[in-house]
Amino acid sequence: MPAPRGRQLAKPTSTAPAQAVSTPVAVAPTTLALMSAAQTAAVDPYALPPRPSLQEIWVAVASSLVGVAQAAFRAVSIAVHVGPTVSTLNQTVPFNGFNLVPSSTELVTSFYGQWTFWPGGPTLVQGQQKYDVVDPATNENVGSFDALVSTGSPFNVGSKYVELLVTSNDGTNVGTDSGQVPPVGSLISSFDLIGGFGWSYSAMPSSSGDVVAFKILTPFGDIPIPFSFDAAKGIADHTVDNRPVILGNGYSIAPADPTGETYVGTSGFLPYYTTVQAHEVFNYRDPSGNTVGSFEGVLTPTADIMGVKTEAILVTKVTDGTAGTAAGDVPPVGSVFNVMYEADGSTYAVYSSLPSQFGDKVSTILVKGGTVSNIGTFPLNLLDASALPPVKRLPAPNGYSFLPTSNLVPSGVNGLPPREIQLQGYQQFGIYDAAGVQQGSFDADVATQLDMYGNYSQAILVTKVTSGTAGTDAGDVPPVGSVFNYTYFGNTGFGTYYADLPSASGDKVSFKILTPVIDIPTWSTYDASAGFGGVSFFDPFATV
């Protein structure tokens, strides 16, 4: 008999990067249970005397330095890479004795650049795709499902990572056994580190308890290892993001509809941690729990094997109430929040950055034992997540330059402010010659990161040429699938520049180390555009 029909998220479409969510059978309600009387007392975090919190400082500094080291290692790997690059797109994933085989063209919706800290997914390309469950012995297709998919080389340029979040199926042959279609909310991943060595991880919702599996992969056979971290917990039943964000001043942010989020991406590195990216409408609540306004936002909840949970939110539109930075005002567009819960859930830090023409209001507080304290001291007071560096011309091939011709349309937020902020979105660019004359234009996916040390990076993926001649010659507009990565180390004049332009005669790759005096080219042949000829791209500007 076929398994009962599974919970579903709407199938991917070519007109939006979103996954609509249907109401599940049972949903855990949004709760304010963690809000004690002391926690909901109206205090002004900006007026509290700042005092250092050594644990939070240590976590931020240590983890950021690890992020810098990992990003630098990837940059060096790209700079010295020689030889072909294997595409990480359209991977077939061995799973439960069967193969998960891509059966549709992937719709790419976003990506991350090379210089990206965890919990963002360095190098990950995110999209939507259909998969068939195929018996490798008979080549029989026993079912299919839709998924949010992320692929890339996050550890080194030779590694291959793939992660699937099952968003819908037809309800036939759904289950957690071998040869069955994984249920909605399942997370499935595989990581090939080098030479066939790596690991696989999966977590699948089940009425009798989620089924978690972890294996060490080797060329000589797979080694199953017991593993308890359930990365899929809360996805199918919508509880992954329905915990209120308590701001310490008596106000809180909570989903307007506990089942109303729209999942748009997954970018974790399983089994270490998981992230789910979404769009949602939030209510802004006063100390009595009354809604005083609402806003639309992009958000990313994370969870890791240590029990730590975080949630980052970027306000994209105020839908009700008065926008501002005063008590009771709805956070204005561009506001960034990040809450970091320790394992017990009763101790957490909250970062907020609210843009204002009179000076952005930035704070970091700690709530512990019902007491709110201001921990926004050095270096936790360095990052203003709502104030990215001003727009400037970006170097392009052949002595040309890029300049944005539209505002960024946000599609995602990630990172761990006050450590760093990561933004994803869509933007239009013009390409200009040395005299400042525009030669063409293109639409692009964009990913940016600003960290607490002032390091800034921007990655651009060309999704559509809108004017001019696409090509790799001087004056040409970079063709679809071109990738650019820029990194600037504060205002020092040092940084890196990477460009990859697809071409039928061979991709044009350039990697330069930027200095205040000269730019130093390397011999890199790393092809970040590998595989983009076999995908399609979501482009919001093409629908207006």
Q: Are 119 and 112 in contact (CB under 8 A)?
A: no
Mean pLDDT, rounded, for 259-279: 94
Q: Strand, coil or helix: what is 541?
A: helix
Q: Between residues 158 and 101, which one has the greater pLDDT?
A: 101
Write down the domain spans for the chain.
84-224, 244-374, 394-532
* Amino acid (one-letter) located at 355: P
Rounded average pLDDT over 77-100: 94
Residue-level pLDDT at 282: 97
**How much of the chain exceeds pLDDT 90, in percent?**
81
Indicate the pTM of the whole model.
0.91
pLDDT band at residue 158 under the 50/70/90 scheme: confident
Which residue, 144, 35, 137, is CA-closest to 100? 144
> CA-CA-CA-CA torsion for 325, 328, 331, 332, nearest 10 degrees?
-60
What burial class does residue 359 get, using C-beta atoms within 10 Å of its C-beta: 0-12 exposed, 13-18 middle, 19+ buried? exposed
Spacing of C-alpha 317 from chain mean position: 20
Helix or strand holding residue 390 (H, E)? none
Task: State the pLDDT confidence band at 505, using cuts at 50, 70 and 90.
Answer: confident
pLDDT in tens, 40-60: 456 888 889 999 999 999 999
pLDDT at 392 (0 to 100) = 86
Mean pLDDT calculated for residue range 103-114: 97
Alpha-carbon gap, residue 23 to 482, rounded angstroms: 39
SS3 state of residue 543: helix
Tokens read off for 305: 């094997």
For 411-470, the pLDDT digits (tens) are 999 999 999 999 999 999 999 999 999 999 999 999 999 999 999 999 999 999 999 999
What is the mean pLDDT of the segment spanning 333-346?
91
Coil, helix or strand at residue 391: coil
Q: pLDDT tens digits, residue range 136-146?
A: 999 999 999 99
The pair of three-digit structure tokens given for residue 504, joined into one six-digit string: 């039928």
